[in-house]
Amino acid sequence: EVQVVESGGGLVQPGGSLRLSCAASGFTFRNYAMTWVRQAPGKGLEWVSAITSGGNTYYTDSVKGRFTISRDISKNTVYLQMSSLRAEDTAMYYCAKEQTWAVPHWPDSWGQGTLVTVSS
């Protein structure tokens, strides 16, 4: 069974940093792209970042230069390093497995999410 489990969320002050982790299991991790999507409280879905199986990375404009996505094949884990955090980054962050090795495609398995709150 495919599983993705996010961790690392929490309360952080504006300007601070946080690293989210996403542990994957139940599929051959190295063969698939992975994606982060966020959802602000009461709002819709917003794609944040993705990484292909080969390590190519993609970001939405609002996080470029502040967020970094990476993956550790040996640990079946993808990371989202977030810095210079702003109040508008407050959201539930979902990690999802893409349907194939490339980006973009459709995320077909999602985690339960980890909540990031940026507030003083």
Partner 1 sequence: DIVMTQSPDSLAVSLGERATINCKASQSVLHSSNNKNYLAWYQQKPGQPPKLLIYWASTRGSGVPDRFSGSGSGTDFTLTISGLQAEDVALYYCHQYLTVPITFGQGTRLDIK
Under the rule (CB under 8 A), what is the footprint of partner 1?
35, 37, 44-47, 50, 58, 60-61, 94, 96, 99, 103-108, 110-113
In the complex with partner 1, the residue whose CB is nearer, 70 or 112, is 112
Task: Give, in degrees to the nearest 5, the angle at Cα 14 between 65 and 49.
Answer: 35
Q: Which is nearer to partner 1, 1 or 74 (CB)?
A: 1
Nearer to partner 1, 37 or 82 (CB): 37
Which burial class, exposed, middle or buried, applies to 96 when counting CB atoms under 10 A from its CB (0-12, 13-18, 19+)? buried
Distance CA(33)–CA(11), nearest Å, equals 28
